[in-house]
A = this chain, B = another copy of it.
């Protein structure tokens, strides 16, 4: 896909906690509440807030205060269509990186399994 997949990796999504956040949201069609996401990713309020802010600024995720949970408005966090598109692209690049790295330690990827993901897939 690219000559140097390593340098093509989206640094916005590459951080392990952000990968966990985006993966959890990608699997939740109706989004997740702040507390559900916090639990899924084993993060503190402060850490999760910091990552969500960075991802929201790039329109990867969206936060909606739309329903009531007890007496407090419930914040629902969703992956945006643009975020999903960029995540699929990131995963395709990560797959290239993994294949190249695995080959470097003498473990070439099995034929036919790479690439599994294409940016236009979803």
Contacts and interface: CB of A to CB of B under 8 A. Distances in A.
Contacts of A110: 112-113, 116
Interface residues of A, number: 41
Nearest to A18: B6
A19 B105 CA distance: 12
Contacts of A100: 23
**Copies of this protein, total:** 2
A113 B6 CA distance: 22
Given A9-B16, A113-B113, A116-B109, A4 B104 contact: no
Interface of A: 4, 6-7, 9, 11, 14, 16-17, 19-20, 22-24, 26-27, 41-42, 84, 87-88, 91, 94-95, 97-98, 100-107, 109-110, 112-113, 116-117, 121-122
